[in-house]
Amino acid sequence: MTRALDTAVAALMRETAEKTLLKHYQRLATDDVTNKAADDVVTIADTESEIMLAEGLSKILPETAIVGEEAAHADPAIFERLSNKLCWIIDPLDGTNNYAAGKPPFGILLALAEKGETVAGWIYDPLTDRLCTAHRGQGAWLNGERLTARTSGADVPVAAISLVFADPTRRASLLEHIAPHYTLVDIPRCAAEQYPRLALGQNDVSLFERTYAWDHAAGVLFLNEAGGKAARPDGSPYRVDTHLKSGLIGAASPALFDDLAERLARI
């Protein structure tokens, strides 16, 4: 079942990327981009990708509910499906701001959840054809090869700390009490890029304020299955049906997670 599911989902992601994301990449007209919220946009590629993915996933597992980012934005009642027995979670174009500016990174994130817990996840980068996959209890895989998370090896751990959605007080506290203990790097504003960076030795830790299911369900499972650790700052597991809570740590190792969690608990 796992292999057949991976094959079907991978084919759907690649076909969708080719027919929607790559079709419009660096070719967007002015009216192809609209403001969705402050500092957030949606493009024609988001919409087309979500429609195609939802239709394809409903054929792969017809009994499964679907929560797509754009559909949920239009109708918040869709969030209730995250607690269903089975639920597909779709981020049709992660990193939309980058995409709209005509630059990488961006990607597709898909996850399958069971009663609020992620049981499978797929992270696809259309520009490099990088596909990260994970199934609960079965490890993490990168383009078909088993992956074990590794740290950067830097003397001072490398951190990508998202301050975009932190309020001014929180932002100041993080900069004063957390940032000095790390080598800070820019965030990619793309979870489909950030989680692979944590597993591949590019970044050691990352801190997220906003934790929507479509952004994090696949990545959290992937990083944990690779041997890193992604969880709430208090150590509790990330659940898709509590995705409106704030705060999430991703780390290349449990030790790095614990160190950052302890620092956060003191501020």
Question: Per the structure block, which two tokens stand in for 2?
Answer: 């796992």
What's the confidence (pLDDT) of residue 40?
A: 83
26, 16, 189, 71 alpha-carbon torsion, rounded to 10°: 110
Could you read off the pLDDT of 69-110 as tens digits, one per residue? 999 999 999 999 999 999 999 999 999 999 999 999 999 999
Could you read off the pLDDT of 231-259 as tens digits, one per residue? 999 999 999 999 999 999 999 999 999 99
CB neighbours (10 Å) of residue 239? 19
Measuring CA to CA, which residue among 246, 240, 248, 244 is closest to residue 116? 240
**Is the pTM above the cut of 0.85?**
yes
Per-residue confidence band for 166, with pLDDT thresholds at 50, 70 and 90: confident
Q: C-alpha angle 79/65/226, rounded to 5°? A: 85
Q: Is the pLDDT of residue 24 over 70?
A: yes
Strands 140-142 and 145-147: antiparallel
Per-residue confidence band for 165, with pLDDT thresholds at 50, 70 and 90: confident
What's the confidence (pLDDT) of residue 37?
A: 73
What's the confidence (pLDDT) of residue 1?
A: 63
The alpha-carbon radius of gyration of the chain (Å, integer) is 18
CB neighbours (10 Å) of residue 55? 12
Tell whether the torsion through CA atoms of 163, 169, 170 and 176 is positive or negative: positive
Strands 205-208 and 248-251: antiparallel
Could you read off the pLDDT of 25-57 as tens digits, one per residue? 999 999 999 998 767 899 999 999 999 999 999
Say how far apart CA 63 and CA 137 lie, in whole Å.
23
Answer for the pair 12, 53: CB distance below 8 angstroms, yes or no.
yes
Q: Which domains does the chain have, with CATH numbers?
A: 2-147 (3.30.540.10), 158-265 (3.40.190.80)
Q: Would you mind telling me the total number of residues written for the chain in this entry?
A: 267
131: CB partners within 8 A, 6+ apart:
10, 13, 122, 123, 124, 125, 142, 143
State the residue for tokens 């054809």. 129
Say how far apart CA 125 and CA 109 lie, in whole Å.
9
